[in-house]
A and B are shown apart, each in its own frame.
Chain A
């Protein structure tokens, strides 16, 4: 499987470099409207054609990939960190602390978070730049997306608490923080890693759905979410198959991440 991992790393590097400095690779701005060319087919000028407002799809894909590749993992990292802190502590301490924290987690999971997001958006100021709006969106996702992961981490930490090596460490005189940081945390990292990778596509899709409710990335800034929203129009898909390119890229990037991380964790 080494070749697959190398291929995945190469692909991710290519995507990352291209998206970090898109202006080096592409001449058009993502917001520029070519009003004489709305819904144009792919051409030498516009490789992926133009969208319904005449904006170059390839430019939007490059910039949208940058936004999503930077911010979705950031949100996933925030959610995973919160999950590690809350779930890990609860599982490690056990007893009434675990019961209380998990009850709070269940309560958090049962909250109608969509309505909560709508309320939060309604309270936010209107005059924010598209960049601020995208940061707010992903920060909200990160802050609200920890609960399910915390339950998984808590269950893992509970198992580890009773494991032989932890008992041995305790018998050797290791204290609470040392046990937590040196023995428990490294052993829950694979579970956290899995939660992290699962969260990334989830957050990207959630951002796409939030866009429909007006909570996503503000125009004219693109994101994978806003690019995937184009797929909701069935009437144009059959005649414009190149609109699937963002979806294909999204699948390839997420799969590559999985390949890289899986091969790193389980050496063959």
Chain B
């Protein structure tokens, strides 16, 4: 009897131990809104993207820490010399969450779906080169070649966003190849993801990943409540927090606060250079002058903007590319220094003169302009007010106007009835292809002077040429040379006056083990399969 008792006790302990070591607990965090779709090909907003990242299986994955591509469902891949096609060797023995086996047919099906013009998949535009069609050739159950209508720069990197769907599963897009699958969706309340029992990854000890049983995504719009829940231990992480919350968190629970350094996003201002804008001719002449823009840039104390407006969690910006973008950043460039004496010299070269503290142009017009920014954004309001004081130092009068977002967009995209604008750009992609729609002169987002039929200036023509050249080249080194030059021209001409690069600030509970927040999305759970919950700490909480 004793023998049986010990055997039973041992087996219970072993079972407990193995379950403890493998998959325990529930990771909880908040989404700002309800996911609009669970179809990975139709994702457009953050919440759906989070679900896609946690549930989707991709052929290759961009490691968010090293910023290099790593094999996932594809063990090998090769891009053709002409940049039109890519061949994959797929991982064998992999199944979807419902048990349907994964094969090259699924990859072919996914790309046919993606490129279907009736689906209007947002990710498809990146692959629409040439005639916009895709040819899929299944060579074997684990080998496939995709051929596109024309060459696509950085083709392999684009695969990080394409989640493979099952061609045969009755569950369609709900059958997942990623670490989790959607188990429950309570509209407006939460989305519950459970561990994919068929996930192919294992750790070095052979234990199946992910370690955590389930992920609960609560819908919570209010940031104050989200932070309170984090501090109470009800949720485990917040992907991005602002500087105020960060400082408070750092003071109260320093182990939770993570500053991962410069993000990919930029904060910048620009002057309206649109030919047919309803501005007086003399103001158009100011804004088109490189000396005027450079003088404004040199009169802004970026160090102060970073230190005061962002509580030190930002750094003076250099240009188009953030230093966080390890490969594409042009390290030769430095932020423009704060030098009002040099600014006045530049202005004098253009005929401006400072009289009784007021800067006047050649025609005697006092230099006065307004900066518009979106109302409610404390950081931009602070920066605008600081710029107002900085520019008063060289005799410029600046009026700060905060507008609701639709009115602001109306002014900068349709009526062009504004003088200067302060906004930011959110970058999610590392590749220069993602900023083509900003830097090519014919583009809609070429904000200082959009939709140009022919480039208005020689330097814009040069940028157009370089952007085309980098897009047509498959050699990354050559592409970088071209894009480095684009960065230099932007730095010299300053159509965008880059102000600061914000840091990526996030919060992770100490209960979560193996967390290593990074600057790329999703900052805190990019390695979700390796995350573990410290059950002792969690139970204390």
Contacts of B401 in A (CB 8 A): 126, 214, 218
Stretch from A173-181, A198-206, A229-237 that touches the partner: A229-237
How far apart sit A47 and B185, CA to CA, in the bound complex (Å)?
A: 54
Q: For the complex, is B260 an interface residue (Cβ under 8 Å from A)? A: no
Out of B308, B384, B386, B419, which one reaches A126, CB within 8 Å? B419
Out of B227, B369, B382, B403, which one reaches A52, CB within 8 Å? B382
Stretch from A31-39, A103-111, A242-250 that touches the partner: A31-39
Contact A122 B410 (CB under 8 A): yes
Contact A235 B388 (CB under 8 A): no
Contacts of A215 in B (CB 8 A): 375
Contact A122 B403 (CB under 8 A): yes
Contact B404 A118 (CB under 8 A): yes
Contact B388 A53 (CB under 8 A): no
Please give the distance in Å from A67's CB to the nearest CB on chain B: 16
For chain A, residues 14 to 38, give those with C-beta under 8 angstroms from any C-beta of chain B. 31, 33, 35, 38
Q: For the complex, is B203 an interface residue (Cβ under 8 Å from A)? A: no
- A235 touching B248 in the complex, CB below 8 Å, given contacts A214-B402, A218-B401, A219-B381: yes
Contact B386 A33 (CB under 8 A): yes
Closest partner residue, chain B, to A220 (CB atom): B385
How far apart sit A192 and B12, CA to CA, in the bound complex (Å)?
A: 81
How far apart sit A211 and B417, CA to CA, in the bound complex (Å)?
A: 22
Q: For the complex, is A213 an interface residue (Cβ under 8 Å from B)? A: yes
Contacts of A212 in B (CB 8 A): 375-376
- A234 touching B381 in the complex, CB below 8 Å, given contacts A31-B389, A118-B407, A127-B368: no
How far apart sit A121 and B405, CA to CA, in the bound complex (Å)?
A: 12
How far apart sit A38 and B304, CA to CA, in the bound complex (Å)?
A: 11
How far apart sit A171 and B492, CA to CA, in the bound complex (Å)?
A: 87
- A213 touching B385 in the complex, CB below 8 Å, given contacts A127-B369, A235-B244: no
Closest partner residue, chain A, to B248 (CB atom): A235
Contacts of B227 in A (CB 8 A): 235
Contacts of B382 in A (CB 8 A): 52-53
Contacts of B402 in A (CB 8 A): 211, 214, 218
Contacts of B248 in A (CB 8 A): 235-236
Contacts of A235 in B (CB 8 A): 227, 244-245, 247-248
Most buried by A among B227, B244, B301, B308: B308
- A126 touching B375 in the complex, CB below 8 Å, given contacts A219-B388, A235-B247: no
Contacts of B410 in A (CB 8 A): 122
Q: For the complex, is A128 an interface residue (Cβ under 8 Å from B)? A: yes
Please give the distance in Å from A101's CB to the nearest CB on chain B: 33
Q: Chain B 411-429, CB within 8 Å of chain A: the 1/0 string?
A: 0000001110000000000
Please give the distance in Å from B425's CB to the nearest CB on chain A: 21
Out of A126, A211, A214, A219, which one reaches B418, CB within 8 Å? A126
Out of A31, A54, A213, A236, which one reaches B375, CB within 8 Å? A213
Q: Chain B 349-382, CB within 8 Å of chain A: the 1/0 string?
A: 0000000000000000000111010111000011
How far apart sit A54 and B389, CA to CA, in the bound complex (Å)?
A: 12
Q: For the complex, is B224 an interface residue (Cβ under 8 Å from A)? A: yes
Out of A35, A52, A219, A220, which one reaches B304, CB within 8 Å? A35
Count of chain B residues with a beta carbon within 8 Å of a chain A beta carbon: 36
Please give the distance in Å from A218's CB to the nearest CB on chain B: 6
Q: For the complex, is A129 an interface residue (Cβ under 8 Å from B)? A: yes
Contacts of A118 in B (CB 8 A): 404, 407
Contact A220 B388 (CB under 8 A): yes
Contact B385 A53 (CB under 8 A): yes
For chain A, residues 69 to 83, give those with C-beta under 8 angstroms from any C-beta of chain B. none
Q: For the complex, is B399 an interface residue (Cβ under 8 Å from A)? A: yes
Q: For the complex, is B400 an interface residue (Cβ under 8 Å from A)? A: yes
Contacts of A211 in B (CB 8 A): 375, 402
How far apart sit A211 and B404, CA to CA, in the bound complex (Å)?
A: 10
How far apart sit A219 and B309, CA to CA, in the bound complex (Å)?
A: 15
Contact B407 A127 (CB under 8 A): no
Please give the distance in Å from A235's CB to the nearest CB on chain B: 4
Contact B399 A128 (CB under 8 A): yes
Contacts of B385 in A (CB 8 A): 33, 53, 219-220
Contacts of B245 in A (CB 8 A): 235
Contact A126 B372 (CB under 8 A): yes
Closest partner residue, chain B, to A119 (CB atom): B407
For chain A, residues 139 to 154, give those with C-beta under 8 angstroms from any C-beta of chain B. none
Please give the distance in Å from B441's CB to the nearest CB on chain A: 26
Q: Chain B 194-225, CB within 8 Å of chain A: the 1/0 string?
A: 00000000000000000000000000000010
How far apart sit A234 and B386, CA to CA, in the bound complex (Å)?
A: 23
Contact A214 B308 (CB under 8 A): no
Closest partner residue, chain A, to B251 (CB atom): A239
Contacts of B244 in A (CB 8 A): 233, 235-236
Contact A127 B404 (CB under 8 A): no
- A126 touching B399 in the complex, CB below 8 Å, given contacts A53-B382, A214-B404: yes
For chain A, residues 161 to 217, give those with C-beta under 8 angstroms from any C-beta of chain B. 211-215
Contact A127 B399 (CB under 8 A): yes
Contact B375 A33 (CB under 8 A): no
Contacts of B384 in A (CB 8 A): 219
Out of B308, B368, B381, which one reaches A38, CB within 8 Å? B308
Please give the distance in Å from B420's CB to the nearest CB on chain A: 10
Q: Chain B 311-325, CB within 8 Å of chain A: the 1/0 string?
A: 000000000000000
Please give the distance in Å from B29's CB to the nearest CB on chain A: 20
Please give the distance in Å from B510's CB to the nearest CB on chain A: 21
Please give the distance in Å from B145's CB to the nearest CB on chain A: 53
How far apart sit A236 and B242, CA to CA, in the bound complex (Å)?
A: 13
Contacts of B399 in A (CB 8 A): 126-130, 218
How far apart sit A35 and B301, CA to CA, in the bound complex (Å)?
A: 11
Please give the distance in Å from A132's CB to the nearest CB on chain B: 10
Contact B375 A214 (CB under 8 A): yes
Contacts of B368 in A (CB 8 A): 127
Q: Chain A 78-102, CB within 8 Å of chain B: the 1/0 string?
A: 0000000000000000000000000
Closest partner residue, chain B, to A210 (CB atom): B375
For chain B, residues 243 to 288, give those with C-beta under 8 angstroms from any C-beta of chain A. 244-245, 247-248
A-B contact pairs, 29 of them (CB 8 A): A31-B389, A33-B385, A33-B386, A35-B304, A38-B308, A52-B382, A53-B308, A53-B382, A118-B407, A121-B404, A122-B407, A126-B372, A126-B399, A128-B399, A130-B399, A212-B375, A213-B375, A214-B374, A214-B375, A214-B376, A214-B407, A218-B402, A219-B384, A219-B385, A219-B400, A220-B388, A234-B224, A235-B245, A236-B244
Which 4 pairs show the lowest CB-CB distances between chains A and B? A214-B375, A214-B402, A126-B370, A122-B407
Q: Which chain B residues have a beta carbon within 8 Å of chain A's beta carbons?
A: 224, 227, 244-245, 247-248, 301, 304, 307-309, 368-370, 372, 374-376, 381-382, 384-386, 388-389, 399-404, 407, 410, 417-419
Q: A53-B382, A235-B244 are in contact. List 15 more A-B contacts (CB 8 A).
A: A31-B389, A35-B308, A121-B403, A126-B401, A126-B419, A127-B369, A127-B370, A127-B419, A128-B399, A212-B376, A213-B376, A214-B375, A219-B388, A219-B400, A235-B245
Q: Which chain A residues have a beta carbon within 8 Å of chain B's beta carbons?
A: 31, 33, 35, 38, 52-54, 118, 121-122, 126-130, 211-215, 218-220, 233-236
